[in-house]
Amino acid sequence: MTHPLVRRLRVAVSVVAVLCCGLPGTGHGQTSIKLPDFGDASGSVFTSNDEQRLGDAFLREIRASTEILEDPEVDAYVNALGFRLAAASDAPARPFTFVVVSDPVINAFAGPNGVIGLNTGLLVAVESESELAAVVAHEIAHVTQQHIARSFELQSRYSIPVLAGLLAAIVIGSQDAQAGGAATAAVIGAQAQGQLDAIRANEYEADRVGIRTLSKAGFDPGAMATFFARLQEASRYYRQPPEFLSTHPVTSARIAESRARAARHSYKQYPDSAGFLRVRAKLEVLINGPAKALDGFQRRIADGSGARPEVNQYGLALALLAQERYARARPILARLAKEHPRVLAYQDAHARALRQTGETRAALEIYREALRVYLNDRLMTFGLADLWMDANRPARASEVLEAYVRAQGSDARAFHLLAKAHEREGRQTAARAALAEHHYLNGRLGQAVFHLERAQRSPSDDYYLNARVAARLKELRREQSLRDDG
- Residue of 103, 129, 131, 207 marked active site: 207
Burial 115-129 (b: 16+ CB within 10 A, else e): bbbbbbbbbbbbebb
Q: What is the pLDDT along the chain (486 residues), one digit of tens a residue?
A: 433 333 333 333 333 323 344 444 444 333 333 333 433 434 445 566 777 777 888 888 888 888 999 999 999 999 999 999 999 999 999 999 999 999 888 888 888 889 999 999 999 999 999 999 999 999 999 888 876 545 444 444 556 666 566 555 554 444 333 443 444 344 434 444 444 455 567 788 888 999 999 999 999 999 999 998 888 776 655 555 455 555 566 678 888 888 998 889 877 889 999 999 999 999 999 999 999 999 999 999 999 987 799 999 999 999 999 999 999 999 999 999 999 999 999 999 999 999 999 999 999 999 999 999 999 999 999 999 999 999 999 999 999 999 999 999 889 999 999 999 999 999 999 999 999 999 999 989 999 999 999 999 999 999 999 999 999 999 999 988 887 665
Q: Which residues contact 75 (CB under 8 A, 6 or more apart)?
A: 69, 98, 99, 100, 378
Is residue 462 among the annotated active site residues?
A: no
CB 123 within 8 A of CB 69: no
Is residue 131 among the annotated active site residues?
A: no
Instruction: Please state the pTM of the whole predicted model.
Output: 0.82
Q: Which residues contact 349 (CB under 8 A, 6 or more apart)?
A: 314, 317, 318, 321, 329, 333, 336, 337
What are the CA-CA distances from residue 348 to residues 311, 366, 373 (Å)? 15, 8, 14
pLDDT tens-digit readout, 455-477 = 999 999 999 999 999 999 999 99
pLDDT at 441: 93
- Residue of 139, 243, 272, 348 marked active site: 139
Quote the crossing angle between the two packed helices 72-87 and 129-144, to the nearest 10°: 60
pLDDT tens-digit readout, 158-173 = 566 665 665 555 544 4
Q: How many helices (H) and strands (E) does the chain have?
A: 24, 3
Q: Could you give the CA distance from residue 140 to residue 214 in angstroms, rounded to a whole number?
A: 11
User: Which contacts (CB < 8 Å, 24+ apart) does range 316-322 have?
Assistant: 317/349, 317/353, 318/281, 318/282, 318/285, 318/290, 318/293, 318/349, 319/285, 319/290, 319/291, 319/293, 319/294, 320/290, 320/294, 321/349, 321/352, 321/353, 322/285, 322/290, 322/293
